Structure 1
């Protein structure tokens, strides 16, 4: 049942002699059948001892389970008067640890129904809605060192048997653990456990007793353990730099990289083979859950001239209540039960600018949603909830999209066109004939320095933009309506008043008079995304 062969017999004995647990024996014998690891520990242990032709003694079984061999025993004591008396004598203190020196107890004590229920109970408490999950496991980096040590311990035996077996053939602790426990977790949660899923359940283990197992590698392979820049300062402040308790430079990837470089001889000089038995087992960390982000797309109209697109905060003080993103986000956060959101749109309008027409495309990333599946009817209801919550905005074409699809909103954004309608005031008296020449201007090239009003949040640069076309409607001697079709990213207000000469040419230059913009509306954002949804 365990798929072992005659050549594995001496390897099994050698691993047991080193104190390895039954599941680690299977791993080093390259047993790759899931069902072997799912068996109760006692059954695996019994089959292995039957395989090597030894009695599955109580002491062996207790040792591998990390339990005392016997409870305090009742012994006979000869009194001075020669009579016999029953007495209870405490068991002798154990001098050898019962914990596996390779997996540090992970495959002994955390592959049963008790731990599986502990994990599933933690997941249920978070109240996610899901029908499939992926189980991820985080193990202490020192397990890689101990596995390497055990591999060197049996390497000679492998060579003597002329076995074609490499270290990479050994089943990883992480895989063996998943094979043993994930079926129990999935059954308890009523969900399929897959290799990939949007819903992730993470378990982890720590083992402070052996944290220093990796430290010798930093002396032999210092290039593998260079701290990142943001971690340099703590290392300078605390002495010594590399060997402090819990130093974060000893990541699993760094340790594996160092083990690939170090020679067997040098490793054996610095670390015992097989590894020493620990006194304590691993400690399980809290189970955590995370659902991949859900992305919502749509278009919004803004009808208010007193509503910013995003919260308006100046010098740490909020100006104006509410924002477009908050009005859209509130119903979505509530329905998806998400932890937060990221809002993005195709450009942005100023607080005093309306967005009309078909609206401005936007996407909203909902972080760690506890509910992720909504049908078309439910999404329509969400859209209606947003629209009924305020008369300042309106949303259309609301839909769930993929992360990849959101990039289409930004692709070639500056090559797209946008249309505007502006109410213009002029200093000098004008007539309708004074405006006719503006309608004849096509593809006017302008150069815009970063406007003074946004210089605090955008880098100083000169941007080349196109005014594709203009049309005018005369109102009175000092006012007219200007309609523009421009390259996306054009600063319309600065094109009108010139921004102290930072935009050239500008409307003031063209009309040879001072002019300013009184009202501005976005009439259309010509991006064919997201797909329109019929009413």
Structure 2
């Protein structure tokens, strides 16, 4: 069917009809095949799923189809677009993307230029055009007839367009529409308006000028006609403003608060092999020109990528991109087609590829780099492609993730209950207590900072039946991956009030945000400082005043304590030397004493009182020649000057004795 017959058969649909359809609404949705993030091999099934008979401009509520806007090229004698090897679909898609990236006006002449260059005057291919281009559809004329293509061939592209098909190829730009004549494989033709010879000449000159300008701009904007064999497209496609903007938008939507950012880039391990090959070729070329010109301290691909991306990402996020920051954005690139290119190194240097915990692959970038540092040039060239093999598909940005370093919150806690463990008490898989000091403190903090988890630590620990009074015990909570990072004193004080108001079993004071390094002071105090205890002790025999005097005169008492039987299941068997610095005793009655003991940190007080079947020597029973046991124990003071005091409300202003919820031991 020639062009004249096609126009006659479809005379009722003129170019104005289609232009009107295309410009009906700037709010129409556009379906786009994004070749930057989608393999070109998926184009054929994509086209099949989006043929004109499926998509309707007004939509189809019964079938769940939304209104769709689109642009396609169609013809009657083309068959399957992708089955014709002369049609450069991949090149067409890449040229269209480069045209968009160049930022030049997209004209109909530019579109025609691409169609002719890639011999794609038929079939269907989608272009995502901005609304401004729709206005140009008013001037849309037929091209696809022999006469039109001949003029284009003579004046613009010379011999290249002669390879294009010359039978009934036509172009349709616009929206799909619910007309029975439009179906998959239909021939769609715009009527050509009658113009004067002068108008045709002027239009032809303007078309040639626009096409040449478009061609020059494309050449300057992107000198790469294929995927770079070294970076596999990372420095080509993922340094663009559009990708940086997309990256910035994902970071903004992550929900994290941040004042700076560090970018962590993960390249495919095999990229190191290609980079190594490029360095060998570059070194060879430099030494051929000047044997002394070669410098081995080249900038790595990863560093070069960061240099390019940092400024744009900083501008997009409105915060500095720095070398160190608690907030990290990780971009993970992958390239499945070349993942085996580094496998030859494992057979040459097996010692570099040892299995590691939590590693999904032996071929980490670090392992590959170690192996490449050992390989000689001849050995490398004989086992790997040098130069690297060209690839048709670029890398993918497989994963973009955000994370924030931990925030550390410290303070001091009092425990007023004799039935509350410090940490969750679980025996044989069963929980024995409803709550714990750790949970009562950490869970409100985790919620306040929108953290994903926490780790609780303290300067020592007390048993479930022991209270902690006085100024309390120093503690710290590591909040993992917090999204809310405002750490002002007002916010922290509100959290302290929330913790203290939620339970009368504990209280916190001096709550504050600290650095990780300062946690060292807490751990030093766990073993090096002293602690003050108050204990109510029972004696089998009646106690005399001389017993009280004996205890009060005891100073710097040296103890040898074997690991207590009650903790032997979780601590190694050892004899630990400990010191009781002072003892102050008061008689309560004939069989009870109230003791105040200042001891070295780490001393087992209960075992000092009852002896633990002789495992602690000397003990209170051996000193008084009696059988002794402990009835109550309180921690009165943990002598660690950390964290520093904060001017706020104390944990409790009540009498600590009145806060004892369960006096039984």
* Alignment gaps of 5+ in structure 1: 1-57, 79-83, 90-95, 232-245
Instruction: Give the structure-1-normalised TM-score.
Output: 0.79
* Alignment gaps of 5+ in structure 2: 1-90, 101-113, 122-143, 151-165, 172-223, 649-665
Higher relative contact order (CA 8 A, sep 6+): 1
The reply on whether 1:179 has 2:227 as its aligned counterpart is no
Correspondence for 1:28:
none
Correspondence for 2:636:
523
Distance 1:440 1:162 in 2: 89
The reply on whether 1:217 has 2:345 as its aligned counterpart is yes
CA contact (8 A) 1:431 1:476 kept: no
CA contact (8 A) 1:65 1:108 kept: no
The reply on whether 1:128 has 2:249 as its aligned counterpart is no
Secondary structure of the corresponding residue to residue 201 of structure 1? strand
CA contact (8 A) 1:309 1:325 kept: yes
Greater fraction strand: 1
The reply on whether 1:493 has 2:606 as its aligned counterpart is yes
Secondary structure of the corresponding residue to residue 108 of structure 1? helix
The reply on whether 1:342 has 2:390 as its aligned counterpart is no
Distance 1:528 1:476 in 2: 37
1:37-52 matched pairs, under 5 angstroms: none
Secondary structure of the corresponding residue to residue 403 of structure 1? coil
Instruction: Name the stretch that deviates more: 342-351 or 261-270.
Output: 261-270
1:267-416 matched pairs, under 5 angstroms: 267-411=380-524, 413-416=526-529
Distance 1:306 1:274 in 2: 72
Distance 2:319 2:552 in 1: 65
CA contact (8 A) 2:412 2:510 kept: yes
Distance 1:320 1:475 in 2: 32
* Structure 1 position 64, deviation (Å): 11
Distance 1:519 1:340 in 2: 35
Secondary structure of the corresponding residue to residue 126 of structure 1? coil
Instruction: Give the structure-2-normalised TM-score.
Output: 0.64
Distance 1:351 1:133 in 2: 43
The reply on whether 1:141 has 2:189 as its aligned counterpart is no
Correspondence for 2:584:
471
CA contact (8 A) 1:64 1:100 kept: no
CA contact (8 A) 1:200 1:290 kept: yes
Correspondence for 2:118:
70
* Structure 1 position 206, deviation (Å): 0.8
Aligned residue among 260, 263, 266 for 2:376: 263
Aligned residue among 502, 510, 513 for 2:615: 502
Distance 1:163 1:381 in 2: 69
Distance 1:180 1:268 in 2: 31
CA contact (8 A) 1:425 1:516 kept: yes
Q: Number of residues paired by the alignment?
A: 451
* Structure 1 position 126, deviation (Å): 2.0
Aligned residue among 169, 186, 192 for 1:87: 169
Q: CA RMSD in A?
A: 2.7
CA contact (8 A) 1:151 1:167 kept: no
The reply on whether 1:161 has 2:289 as its aligned counterpart is yes
* Structure 1 position 180, deviation (Å): 2.5
Distance 2:411 2:354 in 1: 45
* Structure 1 position 154, deviation (Å): 2.9
Distance 1:438 1:98 in 2: 89
Aligned residue among 334, 339, 352 for 1:206: 334
Q: Which has the larger radius of gyration?
A: 2
